[in-house]
């Protein structure tokens, strides 16, 4: 039997802005050396405000929608004055001329809601943020599929109380309901009478029958049209034959009815990074000391390592998540140059991100009242080849170099530790590239040039390449022949020996090479024994009447 929790946050947009404003105000007061105070206008009335006889100004967030500006969310004072989400701003101002308004930050709301959905994975891995509901009640919410999870928290009642208590600690007023279907849980959470409601298994029909039509997650226009027919509750619609209603209002109405009473399934699929292995630790007493957090990471690394060894796999990409008591989440990513199973190496990758060492600063995190959860995940894995070593460990198998690459890459950044790689191009400036050493095994096509699979010996190239090639003045016996002397960097060189040409045609299939000409490369040695790599740009009389010469490199 599926059990779905719908968590409704009716004042979420205003609460999120209040949280942001309080933090900004606290930081400002801290810099000024004063006691933090609450930012004006945004917050709901608190008991202390009432005791002091204070009353906050009515405040609302607005959205620019079709038909003009409308109220998106309000604080407690504005709600008490009769202002409701969905109202036109002009009508709201007619009710309360002193109403303060501000544009709603929908993108910020979505980001915060996504973080809350990730935070809720402490209860179940199947969580997601709801879309903004359509209907009279604006607001945001979360969906949690707690099927088979509730007993781990002492039952559904205890789980919901814990969720609501933690939400209140984060500054969010919430209502919760659990039912067999997403539709029923959503409807009861928003339109039921209780702040916390548990619908018994198999009783979703009885729970939704008295609720208004807006609880079906249909548009207000459809609800109004049904109301004109005398249908004002879900029970009224369920009591009528389905076919005439679907014929008049469309299949969407039937779909919503089935989703509410259990006739049609509705998955709770999280939008998350693919996780192939995970280790999770939760603490009754939050961790405040950095040493304790590092020790917890080590324990999680051992659990993850055991799972990887059991699967005969190694982690290539890892993610560490630290959950603070107030719901704040810190995320750290790390990569490995080879499949990694060793718990100590896994823990060291993240410990070095947190603990300052070698004159480098560690991660700047504020643990606040403590970290209550540690989650370590393997987001990409590869099979592990078993290595046979002797008892003295004198044989080196490359693991020390891999460990050094991993530590440097995760400390300095993957883009700052690179290795050279050959690329499938015969043009010298494209024949090699640099890739992050930690991901060298995962090389893909770069700028249209894939990695090179080498067969036989590589062509002879100078030890130093000039980028870009430098023009030179050349004297040759014949226009298409090798140089006899050349002037480079204001110095004249007489050529004693010359080998070539090595002809390189442009790569016509690349847009960057369209319009380019053929190059003839010569290895030349001057009378002083210095060796150079020079090319003629363009074939004489076939591509140009005045070929140009360039210095592209210097041999040892």
Kindly report the CATH number assigned to the domain that includes residue 67. 3.40.1170.60
Residue 50's pLDDT is 34
Sign of the CA dihedral running 260, 263, 269, 275: positive
Supply the pTM of this predicted model.
Answer: 0.57
Residue 52's pLDDT is 35
- The answer on 173 and 30 residing in a single domain is no
Residue 395 located in a structural domain: no
Residue 232 located in a structural domain: yes
Contact 149, 119 (CB under 8 A): no
Residue 166 located in a structural domain: yes
Residue 469's pLDDT is 94
Residue 501's pLDDT is 93
Mean pLDDT, contiguous 10-residue spans, the chain (556 residues): 91 83 71 55 40 63 82 87 88 91 86 87 87 52 92 93 92 93 93 93 93 90 91 92 91 91 81 74 89 93 93 90 85 86 90 64 70 91 71 59 80 80 82 78 47 64 91 92 94 95 86 78 96 93 86 94
What CA dihedral angle connects 225, 226, 227 and 228, to 10 degrees?
60
Residue 360's pLDDT is 44
The count of domains in the chain is: 5
Domain, as residue range, for 451: 413-459
Contact 474, 495 (CB under 8 A): no
What CA dihedral angle connects 328, 334, 340 and 344, to 10 degrees?
-60
Sign of the CA dihedral running 390, 392, 398, 404: positive
Q: ω into residue 327 within 30 of 0, thus cis?
A: no
Contact 538, 548 (CB under 8 A): yes
Q: What angle do CA 9, 10, 13 make, to 5 degrees?
A: 85
Residue 445's pLDDT is 41
Residue 483's pLDDT is 94
- The answer on 246 and 207 residing in a single domain is yes
Residue 454 located in a structural domain: yes
Contacts 24+ apart (CB under 8 A), 105-110: 105/13, 105/17, 106/63, 108/16, 108/20, 109/12, 109/13, 109/16, 109/140
Residue 110's pLDDT is 84
- The answer on 294 and 235 residing in a single domain is no
- The answer on 532 and 441 residing in a single domain is no
């Amino acid at each position: 039997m599926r059990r779905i929790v719908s968590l409704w946050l009716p004042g979420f947009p205003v609460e999120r802005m209040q949280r942001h404003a309080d933090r900004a105000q606290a930081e400002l007061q801290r810099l000024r050396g004063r006691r933090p105070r609450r930012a004006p206008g945004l917050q709901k009335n608190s008991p202390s405000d009432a005791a002091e006889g204070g009353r906050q100004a009515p405040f609302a967030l607005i959205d620019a929608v079709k038909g003009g500006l409308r109220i998106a969310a309000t604080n407690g004072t504005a709600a008490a004055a009769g202002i409701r989400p969905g109202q036109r701003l002009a009508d709201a101002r007619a009710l309360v001329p002193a109403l303060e308004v501000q544009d709603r930050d929908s993108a910020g709301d979505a980001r915060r809601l996504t973080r809350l959905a990730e935070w809720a994975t402490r209860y179940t891995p199947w969580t997601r943020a709801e879309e903004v509901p359509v209907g009279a009640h604006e607001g945001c919410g979360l969906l949690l599929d707690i099927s088979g999870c509730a007993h781990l928290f002492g039952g559904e009642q205890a789980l919901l109380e814990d969720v609501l208590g933690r939400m209140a600690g984060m500054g969010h007023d919430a209502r919760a309901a659990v039912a067999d279907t997403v539709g029923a849980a959503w409807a009861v959470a928003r339109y039921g009478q209780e702040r916390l409601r548990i619908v018994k298994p198999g009783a979703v029909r009885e729970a939704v029958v008295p609720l208004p039509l807006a609880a079906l997650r249909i548009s207000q226009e459809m609800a109004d049209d049904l109301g004109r027919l005398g249908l004002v509750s879900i029970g009224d619609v369920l009591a009528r034959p389905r076919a005439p209603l679907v014929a008049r209002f469309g299949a969407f109405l039937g779909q919503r009815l089935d989703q509410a009473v259990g006739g049609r399934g509705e998955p709770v699929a999280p939008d998350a990074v693919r996780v192939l292995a995970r280790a999770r630790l939760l603490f009754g007493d939050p961790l405040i000391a950095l040493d304790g957090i590092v020790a917890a990471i080590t324990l999680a690394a051992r659990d993850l390592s055991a799972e990887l060894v059991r699967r005969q796999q190694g982690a290539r990409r890892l993610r560490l998540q630290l959950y603070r008591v107030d719901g704040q989440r810190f995320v750290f990513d790390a990569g490995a140059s080879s499949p990694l199973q060793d718990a100590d190496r896994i823990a060291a990758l993240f410990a070095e991100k947190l603990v300052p060492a070698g004159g480098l600063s560690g991660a700047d995190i504020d643990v606040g009242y403590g970290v209550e959860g540690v989650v370590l995940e393997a987001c990409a894995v590869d099979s592990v080849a078993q290595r046979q070593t002797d008892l003295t460990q004198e044989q080196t198998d490359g693991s020390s170099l891999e460990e050094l690459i991993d530590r440097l890459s995760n400390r300095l950044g993957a883009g700052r530790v690179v290795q050279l790689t050959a690329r499938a191009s015969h043009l010298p400036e494209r024949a090699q590239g640099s890739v992050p050493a930690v991901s060298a095994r995962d090389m893909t096509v770069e700028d249209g040039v894939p990695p090179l699979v080498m067969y036989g010996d590589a062509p002879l190239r100078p030890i130093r390449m000039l980028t870009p090639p430098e023009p030179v003045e050349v004297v040759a016996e014949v226009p298409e022949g090798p140089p006899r002397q050349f002037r480079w960097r204001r110095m004249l060189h007489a050529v004693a020996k010359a080998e070539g040409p090595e002809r390189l045609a442009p790569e016509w299939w690349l847009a960057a090479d369209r319009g380019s000409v053929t190059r003839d490369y010569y290895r030349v040695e001057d009378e002083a024994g210095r060796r150079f790599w020079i090319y003629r740009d363009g074939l004489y009389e076939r591509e140009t009447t005045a070929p140009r010469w360039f210095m592209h490199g210097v041999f040892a």
